[in-house]
Structure formats: C-alpha cells, structure tokens
C-alpha cells in the first residue's frame, strides 16, 4: 500500500511518467490493467499493470500508428494514420475481457485529429491483456455520432457501450453483441439536450450509478450523476456531485477495490492547454441516504 498524491503525474516502476489518460482499469488474473491515452510519439493507447493500484509496471503501447488492422465486417474504416501522414485521435480507450471468446476487446472514440466531426467508435482486439491489439476500425453505431464513451460489464458477461451522441446532446447506451465487437441494441437515449460527457458507470450495492461531466472542452465543470435499478431500466434525473469543478477533474472511470468505491478522474494540464501535463486524481465515492457523494482528498492510500 502506498499513498497516491492527487493532481500529480504518477510514475511507473521504472520512474517514468504514466501516460494513460481518459483511461480504464480492469482486474484480470491477479493484476489490475490500466489502459489510457498516450499521445506521445506514434502511440495511441498504453497499458500498465499493478497488483495494488499504486505500483504500476509499464507493459506495452498496445495501440499505435503501426498496429495491425483487420477488417471484420462491412463499413468500418481501418484508419490509424491520415493520408497526409498525421496521427488520428483515439480518446478514452476502455477494455473488457470477453469470457466466451477469450479476447480482450477495446472500444475507443475516434476522430481524425483535424476536426471533431467523425464522432465515431472504434474497436480493437487482442488475445492477451497487454499484447499488441489489432485495430478493427471505426464506425458510427446505427449511424449515430459517438464521442466520449465508456464500457460496462455485468457479472453474467452482458456488456454495454455508452457514448455521447448528437453533438454530445444525448447520452446513448448500447448493448453489445456476445463477442463485444458490435452494438446489438440502442437501449437508451438519455437526458436529451443535457450535453453530458465523460460517462463512467459502477454498480454499488445492487444499484447502477453513472457519473458524467458537462461539456466544456478540457476545462473542469460540475459533475452530475444518475442511478438506476438496472442498466436497461429507468435512469433517474441528473443530480450534482462534487463541486463546480468536480474537485478539478473530469471522470475517467469508477472502480470497486477492496470493498471501497473509487472515482478516477483526469486533471487535464492547464485546462487542456498543456495536455502532456495532465494528471490523475482518485477520490472516494460513498452512498449516503441513497445519494452518491464524492469526497475531496489531497492524497489517498489505496
């Protein structure tokens, strides 16, 4: 156990800065795997692993401009580099392990890096948690725009992809196919016109909680949350959580660890002016009288 200081760029076990922004953590066979954006060099997504959430070993740049691509169904575009040689943007990568297929499946937000108009979801796949992922390409689920996103997996393996649609005005929930490689149903089009970004979901004591941010670019804003008795059930109205800057952060993902509920957020560098100085925060989440609360802490023992 060690203490993690919020708002600093944590180092990996080799002493290098961890670049895993807008990320996601899964537990697999004795390790936590942390995936996140790494915009340095020709990298897109990097992966670190840890047994205690504080000592992170760098494992691999799992998705890069050089990643293998593979076409798996109609009308996906396998573009990892633009025609002029520039990088595309792959934001907010999330990964789940599919027990039925034995594959690790990544969903990530695709933009061409020049404008913000592709608003697409991309999928990548790998046999191991930290191997080289094969890029299956991007598409618009049912033709919808798809920006900030997350994944959520039920204990029975059913999984959902959530993303901001209609220029971020609505938040869609899609049930995934059994192999997690496609969407099979639009389950919800939530909070139309509320412009929510950065969705993150966790089941706490049998109830589903979703945190989101408002839509102010990289600048932090008032976090909100909603809850539901089931992913496909009725979601509550949005309620405020944390302060007007969500304690200077934007949601990345929510995690249960050691019987505790944790919020992982990004503190974007210089409100986005300095992306590479972006750091991480972890705040405890508690449910009190049916309300979800975020506790501000400067540091946390994990």
The reply on whether position 36 binds ligand DGJ by CB under 6 A is no
Backbone angles phi, psi at 107, to 5 degrees: -120, 140
Residue 187 to residues 90, 135, 147, 190: CA-CA distances in angstroms?
Answer: 25, 26, 17, 9
Under rule CB under 6 A, which residues in 15-34 are in contact with ligand DGJ?
22
The reply on whether position 38 binds ligand DGJ by CB under 6 A is no
Instruction: Return the number of the residue (135 or 268) whose C-beta is nearest ligand DGJ.
Output: 268
The reply on whether position 91 binds ligand DGJ by CB under 6 A is yes
The reply on whether position 198 binds ligand DGJ by CB under 6 A is yes
Instruction: Return the number of the residue (98 or 146) whose C-beta is nearest ligand DGJ.
Output: 146
- Beta-carbon-side half-sphere exposure of residue 189 (alpha carbons within 13 Å): 13
The reply on whether position 275 binds ligand DGJ by CB under 6 A is no
| Least Å from the CB of residue 152 to ligand DGJ | 17
Q: Which of 217, 288, 289, 290 binds ligand DGJ (CB under 6 A)?
A: 217
How many whole angstroms separate alpha carbon 158 and alpha carbon 154?
Answer: 5
How do beta strands 31-37 and 159-165 pair? unpaired
Q: Is 240 exposed, middle or buried (0-12, 13-18, 19+ CB in 10 A)?
A: exposed
Q: Is 18 exposed, middle or buried (0-12, 13-18, 19+ CB in 10 A)?
A: buried
How many whole angstroms separate alpha carbon 108 and alpha carbon 27?
Answer: 19
Q: Which of 59, 92, 94, 196 binds ligand DGJ (CB under 6 A)?
A: 92
**SS3 at position 18:** coil
Instruction: Return the number of the residue (246 or 250) whose C-beta is nearest ligand DGJ.
Output: 250
The reply on whether position 224 binds ligand DGJ by CB under 6 A is no
Closest CA to 197 of 256, 115, 119, 125: 119
| Least Å from the CB of residue 290 to ligand DGJ | 28
Instruction: Return the number of the residue (49 or 94) whose C-beta is nearest ligand DGJ.
Output: 94
Instruction: Return the number of the residue (92 or 94) whose C-beta is nearest ligand DGJ.
Output: 92
The reply on whether position 118 binds ligand DGJ by CB under 6 A is no
Tokens encoding 243: 């302060």
Question: Which residues make up the interface to ligand DGJ (CB under 6 A)?
Answer: 22, 91-92, 148, 197-198, 217-218, 250
């Amino acid at each position: 156990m060690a203490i993690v200081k919020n708002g600093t760029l944590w180092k990996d076990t080799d002493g290098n800065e961890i670049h895993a922004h807008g990320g996601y953590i899964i537990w697999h066979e004795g390790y936590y795997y942390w995936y996140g954006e790494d915009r340095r060099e020709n990298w897109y997504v990097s992966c670190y692993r840890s047994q205690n959430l504080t000592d992170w070993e760098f494992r691999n740049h799992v998705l890069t401009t050089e990643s293998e691509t593979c076409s798996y169904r109609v009308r996906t575009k396998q573009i990892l580099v633009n025609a002029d040689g520039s990088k595309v943007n792959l934001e907010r990568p999330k990964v789940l392990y599919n027990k039925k297929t034995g594959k690790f499946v990544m969903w990530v937000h695709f933009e061409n890096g020049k404008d913000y108009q592709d608003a697409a979801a991309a999928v990548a796949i790998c046999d191991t948690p930290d191997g080289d992922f094969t890029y299956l390409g991007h598409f618009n689920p049912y033709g919808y725009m798809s920006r900030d996103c997350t994944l959520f997996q039920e204990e029975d393996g059913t999984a959902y992809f959530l993303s901001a649609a209609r220029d971020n005005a609505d938040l869609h929930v899609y049930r995934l196919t059994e192999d997690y490689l496609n969407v099979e149903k639009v389950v919800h089009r939530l909070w139309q016109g509320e412009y929510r970004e950065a969705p993150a979901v966790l089941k706490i004591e049998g109830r589903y909680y979703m945190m989101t941010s408002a839509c102010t670019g990289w600048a932090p804003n008032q976090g909100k949350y909603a809850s539901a008795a089931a992913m496909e059930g009725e979601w509550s109205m949005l309620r405020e959580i944390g302060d007007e800057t969500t304690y200077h952060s934007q949601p990345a993902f929510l995690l249960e660890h050691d019987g505790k509920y944790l919020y992982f957020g990004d503190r974007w560098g210089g409100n986005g002016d300095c992306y590479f100085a972006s750091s991480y925060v972890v705040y405890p989440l508690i449910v009190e009288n049916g309300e979800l609360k975020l506790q501000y802490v400067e540091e946390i023992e994990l």
